[in-house]
Amino acid sequence: MESFFLKLSVMLVPGLMAITCHEVSHGYVADRLGDSTARHLGRLTLNPLKHLDIIGTLMVFLIGIGWAKPVPVNFGNLRNPKRDMIWVAAAGPITNFTLAFLSALALRGGVVLAGMVPAGSPIEALSFPILLMLAFSVYINLLLAIFNLIPVPPLDGGRVAVGLLPPRPALILARFEPYGMILIVVLVFFTNIFSLVLLPALNIGIDILAGPKTEWVFDLLLSKVIGR
């Protein structure tokens, strides 16, 4: 029970922000490019309750990655559907990379400030959960961005690939979309794609953004919160 509340306190806010901003960015870019579907449905809001998917939220605590309800986009309403689909799809990973970058900057500054606080003080006790939240924000945003770049529709990377490929291969790839989630589940749970591809890319991203001085925070995050 104590472990659950530790996870809840550290992961809830950064996790909800990561998946909410990811979805809102899709709808916002689509709205700017001609499709107002998300705006008319009230989905261009940072209120997480509008985007909450119960199973996707639980997955954040169980496996460290989750999802929200997809923001609806009618690609036929876009001014240039094939080109604009690339920007709508790319908006999600770009947003997560941006949030990871900003969180890493805040984490770097927080580690420096925490080192100036007297040991055993109440401020020091308060600083640890804040640093863990910032570290998890880096972790979850990078993981969402990297995962969504897998070139399999309906993931963002798949839709970017459909927009970039010539018509015939783009059509072939697009036809996989109804079965894409099945393929993704198989890849994640029945292959070594996480340990062989996603995890190394995630670790490289963390090293680049957060730097060696925050390594102890991520060690604490992985051992005490995520349990990896």
Q: Classify residue 51 as exposed, middle or buried by CB count within 10 Å of its CB (0-12, 13-18, 19+).
A: buried
Residue 206: its pLDDT value, please? 97
**In the annotation, is 2 catalytic?**
no
R_g over Cα of the chain: 19
Q: What is the mean pLDDT of the chain?
A: 89
Mean pLDDT of 171-194: 85
| pLDDT of 4 over the 80 cut | no
Band the pLDDT of 170: cuts 50, 70, 90: very high
User: Could you tell me which residues come within 8 angstroms of residue 214 by beta carbon, excluding any fewer than 6 positions away?
Assistant: 104, 107, 108, 111, 135
3-class DSSP assignment, residue 187: helix
Catalytic member of 23, 124, 177, 215: 23
